[in-house]
Amino acid sequence: MAEAEYQNLRDRLRGGTRHCHAALDDQVTRLDRQGAEGYARFLLLQWRLFAALEPVSQGAVCAPVIRDLKQRAGADLERLGRLAPVPRLPLEPHPLAVDYVVCGSRLGTKVLRKRWLDRGLSETAYASSYLSAPPYMDYWRGYVARAEDLPAEGAAADRIVTDATCLFEFCLECISAESAEGKAIHA
């Protein structure tokens, strides 16, 4: 689909990131099916993303959400005995790209939360700070309103889409790194 066919930045972000977003959703769904290990790896993904984003995302509207979710995921990982180094983010993302990825992640977490709680994983009983975080839907609605008011074309839109794509790819790399580390540890 050509850029000119998008009505606004929100539409372009959705269309321009759909392949990497779908790949990430697929990987997270795989984690969802792995029980306790998948839950721990999901928390590691979240913590790594938020820990890497926090120092470079102070201009994002969702900066307070990043801080809260990083602390919650970190606390859960401590309870699970699964700490990890903070990866370096290979870019300083545009604040609106950060808002798109972080605020949108809350929608997916809502679904995963229900699945993990319904399964009765013991880990969700004592490491549930992340799952009990507020949904932060006001942040999502704010992102939607801002992105729908911005044009789909231009240098700023190009950068936002590129940065959002890089953030999704960063998440995929975090999952791959955890998988490789796990294989090396358990081999």
pTM: 0.91
Q: What is the pLDDT of residue 180?
A: 56
Q: What is the pLDDT of residue 117?
A: 86
For residue 116, name the pLDDT band (cuts at 50, 70, 90).
confident
**130 vs 89: CA distance, rounded Å:** 22
Report yes or no: 27 and 161 within 8 Å, Cβ to Cβ.
Answer: no
- Residue range(s) defining the domain that contains residue 81: 3-186
- Higher model confidence: residue 183 or residue 112? 112
Q: Which of 107, 114, 31, 43 is nearest to 72 (CA)?
A: 43
Tally Cβ neighbours within 10 Å of residue 112: 17
- Rounded to 10 degrees, the C-alpha dihedral 27/66/93/108 comes to 30
- What CATH number corresponds to the domain at position 50? 1.20.910.10
Task: Give the mean pLDDT of the chain.
Answer: 92
Count of domains observed in the chain: 1
Average pLDDT on 29-46 reads: 94
